[in-house]
Amino acid sequence: MDQKLDVKGHLRELGALARAAAPLLARAGTAAKNRALAAMAREIRARAAQVLQANAADLAQARKEGCDAAFVDRLTLTPEAIEQMAAGVEQVAALEDPVGRISERVKRPSGIEVAKMRVPIGVIAIIYESRPNVTADAAALCVKSGNACILRGGSEALGSNRAIAACVRAGLAAAGLPEAAVQMVETADRAAVGELITMPEFVDLVVPRGGKELIARLSRESRIPMLKHLDGVCHVYVDDSADAGMAVRIADNAKTQRFGVCNAMETLLVGQEIAPRVLPEIAGIFRAKKVEMRGDEATRKLVADAKSATEKDYYTEWLAPVVSVRVVKDLDEAIAHIAKYGSQHTDAIVAGDRARAERFLREVDSSSVMWNASTRFADGYEYGLGAEVGISTDRLHARGPVGLEGLTTQKYIVLGHGEIRQ
């Protein structure tokens, strides 16, 4: 009970500090923010040895606790990873500052001019798991977008995160910005997350990065708006009007360029007329790359070694060398399949017929919808946003890759000349 009270007290203290720092960071000019980011990168490089030492201690503890190899791998920092972290912070400095940007300016019949100004959101809580590099990435994105942040990394990475956060805060101080704008949760107690998502007076937005179970739980319990990423059950639909060579190339790339990523293809839908011309060739590639195919009856007629797909398979985000396949009658059946089994993440059509492609673009209700491109392009760098804080599968505020703009909001500004309302 006492410890619980301590966690609450600790979190409320961090919240109050972040809330107080937020307006100062919101008002900071682009030059000051960029100076802070440059100083952060310098500090990360200068203190690389300390960061590696802290990481070594975290790794020793994780191994002692029997964490698996993949977990230890995600937790591991190397001199190269530290250099990448510093370079990443410098890349954020090079991005355009969205804060203060004025748009949609119109003059109204009353004489007033109305416009929108882009402004920071306030205090952003970022909850992530074992990768310590997120500490630097997330802090850099929040500082550049003028937001204070509260970082809650994996409990096993606490030492590494603390060492990185020290570099971040030194960078803020060097530029004359408030160190308190970046807060780190200093307890490994899991109750901290429960507190973080239920203090709307101190936190304006929660960005959870991590496993599905974590995010599902947070969305049930959070009392604060969240930008979250749930499943990525992404589809490629090969329309009968597709160029067969292009269809094969995109299906291959979408599935096999990387398996464990959210924008990889999990289900391939193929029009019934083009199926005999593309499915056997795609199957040959998948066979060579050891990708297991699970198809419906029509698929298995064309690909003898495909396993039989169950209803559940079509709902599954494989994140592995497995792909669900289905032959569909037409565009309508493809759109209906995606609406039923998809997760509104990223879906692509390969088609030569422009009218069908445009229907797909309009009617498929996903955060990214593509025509003649691989689903693997759904990414902040590929879209030109620079770094991203994640990919949102939510509907409001920001959908798809979330970069600096997604970490800001807009207010109305009104410029008058003494106008009064009649």
Q: Which residues bind its own copies (CB under 8 A)?
A: 23, 26-27, 100, 106, 108, 110, 112, 114, 117, 119, 121-122, 204-205, 220, 223, 225, 243, 246, 249-250, 252-254, 257, 339, 348, 361-363, 365-374, 376-378, 382-384, 394-397, 399-401, 409-421
DSSP state of 124: E
N- to C-terminal Cα separation, the chain: 60
**Least gap, CB of 185 to its own copies (angstroms):** 22
**Least gap, CB of 208 to its own copies (angstroms):** 15
Contact of 101 with 117, CB cutoff 8 Å: yes
**Least gap, CB of 25 to its own copies (angstroms):** 12
Measured from the CB atom, the residue of 76 and 410 that comes closer to its own copies is 410
- Cα-to-chain-centroid distance, residue 211: 12
**Least gap, CB of 7 to its own copies (angstroms):** 22
As a whole number of angstroms, the distance between CA 194 and CA 192 comes to: 5
| Tokens 């009392």, residue located | 223
Token code pair at residue 347: 């879906």
**Least gap, CB of 302 to its own copies (angstroms):** 23
**Least gap, CB of 63 to its own copies (angstroms):** 35
**Least gap, CB of 319 to its own copies (angstroms):** 17
**Least gap, CB of 92 to its own copies (angstroms):** 19
Measured from the CB atom, the residue of 200 and 284 that comes closer to its own copies is 200
**Least gap, CB of 224 to its own copies (angstroms):** 10
As a whole number of angstroms, the distance between CA 44 and CA 164 comes to: 7
Sequence-distant contacts of 60-68: CB under 8 A, at least 24 apart: 61/156, 62/156, 65/156, 67/156
Measured from the CB atom, the residue of 58 and 252 that comes closer to its own copies is 252
Measured from the CB atom, the residue of 322 and 339 that comes closer to its own copies is 339
Measured from the CB atom, the residue of 311 and 422 that comes closer to its own copies is 422
Measured from the CB atom, the residue of 174 and 246 that comes closer to its own copies is 246
Nearest to 407 by CA among 196, 152, 225, 135: 225
**Alpha carbon separation from 227 to 196, 207, 380 (Å, rounded):** 15, 5, 15
Token code pair at residue 240: 């009968």
Phi, psi angles (nearest 5°) of residue 386: 80, -150
**Alpha carbon separation from 300 to 67, 120, 176 (Å, rounded):** 40, 53, 65
All residues at 6 or more sequence positions from 183 whose CB lies less than 8 Å from its CB, including other chains: 14, 15, 17, 18, 148, 149, 150, 151
As a whole number of angstroms, the distance between CA 97 and CA 336 comes to: 40
Token code pair at residue 162: 């603390």
Residue 237's Cβ-side half-sphere holds a number of Cα atoms within 13 Å equal to 32
Measured from the CB atom, the residue of 7 and 378 that comes closer to its own copies is 378
Token code pair at residue 114: 């109305």
Measured from the CB atom, the residue of 100 and 210 that comes closer to its own copies is 100
Measured from the CB atom, the residue of 96 and 297 that comes closer to its own copies is 96
